[in-house]
Amino acid sequence: MLNIMEVPESDAREQIQRLVRTDLFRFSELQRRLLLYLSEKSLSGEADRLKEYIIAVDALGKPESYDPRRDSTVRLQSSKLRQRISEYYRTEGQSDDVLVDFPKGHFKLVFTYRPPAALPAAPDPAGPKRYPVTLLSLAALSLLLTGLCVYLGFALARAERRNMLSAETWTPALQEFWSPFLSRHEDVTLICVGAPLFVRLSKAGFLIRDSEVNSWAEPAKAELISRLKHLFPDDTPAPWHNFTGVGEAGGAVLVGNLLSTGGLRLHFADSDQLTWNEIGEHNVVFVGPPKFISQIDELPVVRDLAVESSGIRNLRPRKGEPAFLEDAYTDPEHQDGHTHALISRLPGLHGNGEILILGGTWTEGTLAASQYLTLETHVAELLTRIRLPSGKLPPYFEAVISVTTKHSTPVQVSYVFHHVLTPLPQRRSSAE
């Protein structure tokens, strides 16, 4: 029998590489770097001396001016790393011999062998504990849908690679629209994918998604957590961001395919990992509803349009414009009907960089917005609509597009209206 405390360094390194190669880490550069850094320090015996500042500068690329009292990046990324390691052993790593643990309150990874499986316990005479049937059914449906999203996202990626999109020829309209991104070849362009907040109940074994709760810091979260604790008093609700929609996954593929042909250096991340430093240093293309971006309300611009759960709210209607553009689906599954999406170009921090947001009220809208900006005919239409009397394009704007869907696929996309935005005087954010 293997002693659970004696794991050779070679086995520990092999296990770390196994984790790094999974999708949980392969598409998350910050998490991958943090895992590799902490594993190296743990195996070399240096982890006990690690501090937040050292990790921030050495592993996460923070400047030497980094102040852990004002920037919680290390704590946030460490919490996410614990979640991802736990998710790995709950899914792909269920039969792995070597276990990796990241205890709270430390920056040291602990390697052990999996204990031998115990014999089945005798049945409880009182019978198994039962959770409410309706809630368990919803949980199973949630897991099924999220798994389907991942599968369809990869299927769409393969299809788009085969088709090689006509937009990759870089026609004049595409060149003009994307020129602020193409002009910064030496910098990284960050493609950030919207990752909605789920609440995980580990003991019950399922996830819950409330579309009105998009941040663990929102006051609305307290009511949801209170209800869950009442139903499951022995469980501890925790945030979970490891799933995205078909439209978000497919949209990121479309934008990535296009920009890669322009010679840009692309990095990918999810919305839960987007930091103020990244916003301040890079061009960012965000693929997903704006509500998934916690920093958006502090960007130096006043926005006129808001994506809501059933349509787009026009906060400052102009003559002839509706105050609300409501979605209209013909089926309860939201597969066929009419929806909307918002294309927003916003200023980065301190006048540095471009922020482009492509987000719909439903995931099909997000995919449609991404298609709209990667195809010549649609981009040419948008440029004609938003061009200023001087002939130039406004640097910042919000544009609404209308989307018709059939079987959850965008089949028709068209421009509705747009607002030109004026940036606010630049100021330092309290969140930096």
The series of mean pLDDT values per 10 residues for the chain, 432 residues long, is 62 91 78 92 91 91 86 85 87 88 89 69 45 36 39 42 48 93 80 88 80 76 83 86 85 90 84 80 90 82 90 94 93 85 89 88 93 93 96 95 91 95 65 40
pLDDT at 168: 42
The pLDDT, as a whole number, for residue 315 is: 94
- 260 Cβ neighbours under 8 A, 6+ residues apart: 266
The pLDDT, as a whole number, for residue 106 is: 85
CA-nearest of 97, 95, 134, 119 to 14 is 97
**Do β-strands 305-308 and 311-314 pair in parallel, antiparallel, or remain unpaired?**
antiparallel
Q: How many residues does the chain have?
A: 432
Range of the domain at 281: 140-196+244-420
> So what's the pLDDT on residue 185?
65
150 within domain boundaries: yes
Distance CA 424, CA 303 (A): 11
- Which two tokens mark 314? 């026009």
Looking at 218-330, list the stretches that DSSP marks H as alpha helix, in order from N- to C-terminal side. 220-231, 246-260, 276-281
Phi-psi region of 64 (alpha: psi -120 to 50; beta: other; left: phi over 0): alpha
Contact status, residue 116 vs residue 215, Cβ threshold 8 Å: no
Contact 157, 253 (CB under 8 A): yes
For 431, half-sphere exposure in the C-beta direction (CA atoms, 13 angstrom radius) is 15
Using DSSP's 3-state secondary structure scheme, residue 274 falls into coil
For tokens 């910064």, name the residue. Answer: 184
Sorted by sequence, the CB contacts under 8 Å of residue 23 that are 6+ apart come out as none
Shared domain for 385 and 408, answered yes or no, is yes
Residues 165 and 202 both lie in one domain: no
Instruction: Indicate whether 351 and 233 sit together in one domain.
Output: no
Same domain assignment for residues 176 and 202: no
Contact 43, 13 (CB under 8 A): yes
429 belongs to a structural domain: no
Is residue 3 in some structural domain?
A: no
The runs of H, that is alpha helices, within 265-424 are 276-281, 363-372, 376-386
Give pLDDT, residue 285: 95
Is residue 224 located within the same domain as residue 268?
Answer: no
Same domain, 250 and 159: yes
Residues 6+ apart with CB under 8 A from 208: 138, 139, 142, 198, 199, 201, 224, 228
Please count the structural domains in the chain.
Answer: 3
Q: Domain check: are 327 and 361 in the same one?
A: yes
Model's pTM, two decimal places? 0.64
* Residues 267 and 146 grouped into a single domain: yes
User: Among 185, 206, 240, which residue terminates a domain?
Assistant: 240
